[in-house]
Structure 1
């Protein structure tokens, strides 16, 4: 695996709806820009060797960086893969939709839910939204949110951007009733 760059974005939301957010809502995204392990090979029937060569190592690089960047316990998380135009969306999916990748984040966060994901093909500078859900209970609505990401020079046509995102809390000023109260 060759990583061209790692980008870390941390957002702190101090106010929402004209009111102070207390405690401050913090969202961290860590994205690695890697060479697509299948670029230039044409259609690859068996993606397993590339998954085995990249996914676990990539999860091991990204997960601790997200936890460190948050600086507080994680409550929501998500993942993304943006594939350069010379690759297939399936290439990004292959790397992020495996326990070899996701378990690094689940273990670091003591999480139990599946990581919500987005994957797409895009040009350098493509904007993408990473969906976030509660890390132990996907039915908790306050933690259903997204964070927008853009890396100006990635992905190149032969690259994939792989990103993990975490949040220290749900949406600021959330006030929807619990899902269990609806009939």
Structure 2
């Protein structure tokens, strides 16, 4: 029998950078994280079949991405994406992997209107207030250096030992004032036209 998804908390965090270093940005860089905290049905026990978590990853991939994209202003605004998760102390890292990898990417890509590049991810074990740096990069080409970045996510009271935390991050741009060269997003866009 498949356990029911029991969400304790949803959090949406919006970060908008208007100035970096001593220079204002022409267009603020906006990062949005949509987070769900929920019960881990496999905490404290071994299960060979993690299918419920895989299915939940697909379900949450859609709802969390939709929430993040709405805050960003719609799919046309998304330039970068990433995903991550934290497992509480009674769970395993494989529980987060089951959420993140087999099925989550398809609905995430649908909600951002495409996405040719692999979706970067991070996972770790932790307790209340554990921070996770969710890596991001350009959604249509992983080698666009201007968009190599991350967003720190944290929920002050999560995860509990028997919980999981899943985060989806989208951004409307790369790092402020990039200038290390390499492939530019405009070059990628011109190849796909």
TM-score band by shorter chain is over 0.9
The number of residues matched between the two structures is 177
Within-5 A mapping of 1:43-122: 43-52=46-55, 54-71=56-73, 73-98=77-102, 100-109=103-112, 110-122=114-126
Paired residue secondary structure (2:104)? helix
Paired residue secondary structure (1:138)? coil
Which structure 2 residue ranges, 5 or more long, are not aligned? 185-193
TM-score scaled by length of structure 2: 0.88
Which structure 1 residue ranges, 5 or more long, are not aligned? none
Paired residue secondary structure (1:178)? coil
Q: CA deviation at 1:158?
A: 0.5
Q: Distance in 2 between matches of 1:61 and 1:149?
A: 18
Paired residue secondary structure (1:79)? strand
**4+ runs of 1 displaced by more than 4 Å?**
none
TM-score scaled by length of structure 1: 0.92
Q: CA deviation at 1:43?
A: 1.3
CA RMSD of aligned residues (A): 1.4
Q: CA deviation at 1:55?
A: 2.0
Match of 2:14 among 3, 10, 24: 10
1:177 counterpart = 2:181: yes
Q: CA deviation at 1:17?
A: 1.8
Paired residue secondary structure (1:131)? strand
Q: Distance in 1 between matches of 2:154 and 2:160?
A: 13
Q: CA deviation at 1:156?
A: 0.6
Q: Distance in 1 between matches of 2:65 and 2:53?
A: 20
